[in-house]
Amino acid sequence: MSTATTGLGDLRGVAAVSVFRGVPYATARRFGPPAPLSAWTGLRDATRHGPIPPQAPSRLRAAMGETDRRQDEDCLTLTIATPAADAAARPVIVFLHGGAYLSGAGSLDWYDGSVLARDGDVVVVGVNYRLGALGFLHLPGVAEGNMGLQDMVAALRWVRDHIAGFGGDPANVTVMGQSAGAHAIMCLLTMWDTQGLFHRAILQSPPPTLVPQSRAVARANAEALCAQLQVSADALAEVPVADLITAQMQVARQMARFGDITPPFLPVFDAMTDTATFIRVAAAEAGKRGIDMIIGTTREEMHAFLAGDPAMNPPDPQAIADRFAALTGSADSIALYRRRRPGASPMDLLGDLLTDHIFLFPALALADAVVQAGAQVWMYQFDWAPPASRFKACHCLELPFVFGNLPAWADAPMLAGGDPVQMAALSAALRATWVEFADSGDPHAPGLLWPPYRPDGRQTMIFGNVIGVAGDPSGAEWRGGI
């Protein structure tokens, strides 16, 4: 066993790499903001996980596998992995999980930071935050919205105030978010009360096109939830949580559109309801605060969403043509995508289109804007996939490699057929760059030189069967290679 001391009281965790589970960072009533904790007396047990936020099954479970954890609204906890709860002042990585603001938890075994902490000599913190309507409902007089973002702010404040007791340096905090977690980092950058709480950021598969909602749109979605439940707004606080989750997923199905992954409950910011503004404001704050970033995507983000959906096997040809026309201006542009992927199925072509327009192009636009605002960016693309995988290099595929805990993903179909030796080596290379960035602010790892991104050269590190830099070196100030 291992113990740590905080200003709130002492904790007993699991030894080896010391892991402290179910560490409370705030309390909250339904739809209310998180409130600070009261100190406890004696030694608090932190050897077991607490409940995860209430949620329905993930829409990516066909690729990632299933999770089975106790759920409860009393879920605002952290999972902390550290080489030792000493005074070493190590770099801190705070992970914000994805899941479309509807599913997931920082305490899942998938995101266990033990390997990353042990091999990188860093402190890794996983955050549970409220999801769905419980985290993002906006209905005046009932819920102001953004409760889940406020949870993240409370967690970052807890890290600032207490992480030194776990061997971490509160002056060297990197936030790492994937999917909705990366989207959340963009939102956090625009909030005045996050200043000084983190110093670098890693954005894995950010979807800037899923813009924050206006108050009007958020209120309409909240009213749709009330209609589904057949209750008044005033009664929402008393609805059983299971009924609330069922109703929010029915609202999500009602809102679903072909080739669109927008969830019904999102952060609410009236001033950032278009992609260009969202990117510009987040990037400007990154530049102003000096927040350097790693930003990247997987090569085939959308294949996890499409290949796991029975309605997409095969997808409707007219719907595909309509989506190409809407996103590119012409249904004929499918011919260009077909030329790029010889022998592709219609679903492959749709996946490539949506990957480009939901993830890749907006991520590049974000990188451009951050550099123009004065901060540094390192861009990557994760290309590895098991041979013949129907999911290809899909959304979430890099996560097992970032955390290095491949056994926790043994049942993930998206990894099936991968070479364990190759996977372990790729994970080691990826983790080395993430840790080096968290430690020094530059992801150059031994034997792996990674140039900073420049809009005129767009050099990008490719993590795949072969690791190396793609792009135009003549357009960048940096020169080098592996």
- The H helix count followed by the E strand count for the chain is 15, 13
pLDDT of residue 472: 73
Q: What is the pLDDT of residue 477?
A: 43
pLDDT of residue 10: 78
Residues ≥6 apart with Cβ < 8 Å to 436: 442, 443, 444, 445
**Predicted local confidence at residue 412, as pLDDT:** 97
> What are the residues facing 127 on neighbouring strands?
78
- Examine the residue annotation and report whether 179 is marked as an active-site residue of this protein: yes
* pLDDT number for residue 445: 80
**Residue 342 counted as domain residue:** no
Distances (CA, A) of 114 to 3, 18, 82, 433, 482: 16, 8, 7, 17, 28
Structural domain count, the chain: 1
Helical H runs in 168-208?
180-189
Centroid of chain to Cα 321: 30
Q: How would DSSP label each residue in 433-465?
A: HHHHHHHHS---BTTB--PPP-TTT--EEEESS
- Active-site residue identified among 301, 303, 357, 427: 301
Query: Phi/psi of residue 391, each to 5°?
Result: -90, -15
Length of the chain, please? 482
Q: DSSP states of 149-168 as a string?
A: HHHHHHHHHHHHHHGGGGTE
**Residue 314 vs residues 349, 391, 469: alpha-carbon distances, Å:** 12, 15, 35
- Residue 372: CB partners within 8 Å, gap ≥ 6? 283, 287, 455
Provide the CATH number for the domain around residue 204. 3.40.50.1820
Q: What is the pLDDT of residue 479?
A: 38
Give the model's pLDDT for residue 14: 61
| DSSP per-residue string spanning 40-91 | --SEEE-SS--PBPP-PPPTTHHHH------B-S---EEEEEES-SSS--EE
Tell whether 332 is covered by a domain: no
Residue spans of the chain under pLDDT 70? 1-2, 13-15, 473-482
- Which of these, 151, 139, 235, lies nearest to 193 by C-alpha position? 151
Share of the chain above pLDDT 90, in %: 90
Structure tokens at 245: 């989750």
- Report the distance separating Cα 6 and Cα 436, nearest Å: 27
Q: What is the per-residue pLDDT across 382-432, written as a single tens digit (0 to 9) for each? A: 999 999 899 999 999 999 999 999 999 999 999 999 999 999 999 999 999
Give the per-residue pLDDT at 245. Answer: 97
Rounded to 10 degrees, the C-alpha dihedral 170/172/178/181 comes to 40
Total-model pTM: 0.95
In terms of C-beta density within 10 A (0-12 exposed, 13-18 middle, 19 or more buried), how is residue 267 classed? buried
Q: Which of 107, 395, 398, 427 is catalytic?
A: 395
The DSSP 8-state label assigned to residue 359 in this structure reads I
Residue 29 falls inside a structural domain? yes
Note whether residue 337 is domain-resident.
no
Catalytically annotated residue among 58, 103, 179, 427:
179
Q: What was the pLDDT predicted at 482?
A: 30
d(CA 338, CA 319): 17
For residue 280, the enclosing domain spans: 2-316+353-475
